Amino acid sequence: MSNAPFWRGVIPAITTPFAADGTIDHAFLAHHARTMIQAGCIGIVPLGSLGEAATLSFEDKCAILRTLVEALEGKAPVIPGIAALSTDEAVRLAREAEKIGCAGLMVLPPYVYSTDWREMKAHVEAVIRATSLPCMLYNNPIAYRTDFVPEQIAELAAELPNLQAVKESSADVRRFAAIRALLGERLELLVGMDDAIVEGVAMGATGWIAGLVNAYPHESVRLFELARDGGARAAQELYAWFLPLLRLDTVPKFVQLIKLVQEQVGLGSERVRAPRMALEGAERAAALVVIERAAATRPVR
C-alpha cells in the first residue's frame, strides 16, 4: 500500500462500545466499523483517546483489534493507537497488532510520564522500530503533555523510514506549514482536532482522524471533500452547521459528549467505562440542546 492513499481521507477515531454489563460490545463494534467504511471513510483508528484506551486491558485491546480486522476483511486498514505506561508494553502491543493483521500504527507518547526529548524520542522510536508497519506519530501536547515540535518530527522522519504521517493536535495550524517547510512531502499530515479540519486542510493536511464522524459519517466525509477540493469557501455552509458539534471534540468530556451524540442519532450508546460517567443534569441538558439543534437543521445528503 503506497504512502498517500493510506493516510488521505477521513479516518474515524472509533469509539469503544460497551454493553450494559460493562463488557465490550464486539458485535456493535464490527457493525459500526463497517458503517464508517460504507460512508466513505478510508480506515479505522481504534484504541485512541476517544476509544478510551487507557481504561482497556492489554487483552481488551487485542480483542478489539481482532474484531476490527475480521470485520473489515482487508477492505480498509485498521490503524490502532499504541500507547502504554511503559515502552515495553507499547512495543509488545505494536508487535501484537502486526500479528493480528493491522495495517499501520498510530504511535503515542507514554501515558502519565512526560519528560525531555531524549526520553520521548527513545520511546516512540522503539515502538516504530518494533514492526515493519507504516506508522503515524500522534502529537497531542494538550492531552499527553509531550510536544513533538516540527524540528523533532523532522529528526524522527530522517531516521525512521516507516514513519509516514503525523496526526497534529497541538491546536496550532501553523505547525502544518512548519512541518512542510522542513520536510516537503516526506510525511502525510492529518488533522486531529475536529474543529480545525477546514483550517488544517487549507494549511496542507491531507487526512483527518475524526471524532464526530462516529455520529455523522456522511457529513464528515462530505466536509473533508469540500475543504480538500474547493477550499474554505466551498466548505463554509456545511462547516457552519457542523462546528457546534465538532467543538464537542475539544473539551475534557469529549468521550461522553461524542458517545451521547452517537446515541441520539442511533449510531451507538452513551455508555462509557469508569472513571468516566455518562453526562447528567444541566451538563447533559446543555449538550442535548446543541445536538438537537444540529439534528433539526441537518443538511440533506
* Residue-by-residue pLDDT tens, the chain, 301 positions: 335 568 999 999 999 999 999 999 999 999 999 999 999 999 999 999 999 999 999 999 999 999 999 999 999 999 999 999 999 999 999 999 999 999 999 999 998 888 999 999 999 999 999 999 999 999 987 778 888 999 999 999 999 999 999 999 888 888 999 999 999 999 999 999 999 999 999 999 999 999 999 999 999 999 999 999 999 999 999 999 999 999 999 999 999 999 999 999 999 999 999 999 999 999 999 999 999 999 999 986 6
Half-sphere exposure of 211 (CA within 13 A, CB side): 31
Signed CA dihedral, 239, 244, 249, 251: sign only: positive
Beta strands 135-139; 163-168: pairing state: parallel
pTM equals 0.95
Give a yes or no: residue 112 inside a domain: yes
C-alpha cell at 6: 493510506
Give a yes or no: residue 114 inside a domain: yes
Give a yes or no: residue 31 inside a domain: yes
**How many domains, in total, are found in the chain?**
1
Structural Rg of the chain based on CA atoms: 18
- Give the domain CATH number at 193: 3.20.20.70
Give a yes or no: residue 177 inside a domain: yes
Domain that residue 51 falls in = 3-230
What is the structure's pLDDT at 4?
Answer: 54
What does residue 46 show for φ and ψ, rounded to 5 degrees?
Answer: -90, 170
Give a yes or no: residue 238 inside a domain: no
d(CA 102, CA 72): 11
| 73 contacts: CB under 8 Å, gap ≥ 6 | none
d(CA 257, CA 90): 28
DSSP E strands in 154-220: the ranges are: 163-168, 188-191, 207-210
- Whether the CB-CB separation of 213 and 36 falls below 8 Å is answered with yes
Give a yes or no: residue 158 inside a domain: yes
Give a yes or no: residue 271 inside a domain: no
What is the structure's pLDDT at 66?
Answer: 98
DSSP-derived 3-state class of residue 225? helix
| Residue 235 one-letter amino acid | A
Residue 97, Cβ density class (10 Å: 0-12 exposed, 13-18 middle, ≥19 buried): buried
d(CA 10, CA 223): 10
d(CA 63, CA 59): 6
Give a yes or no: residue 237 inside a domain: no
What is the structure's pLDDT at 300?
Answer: 66
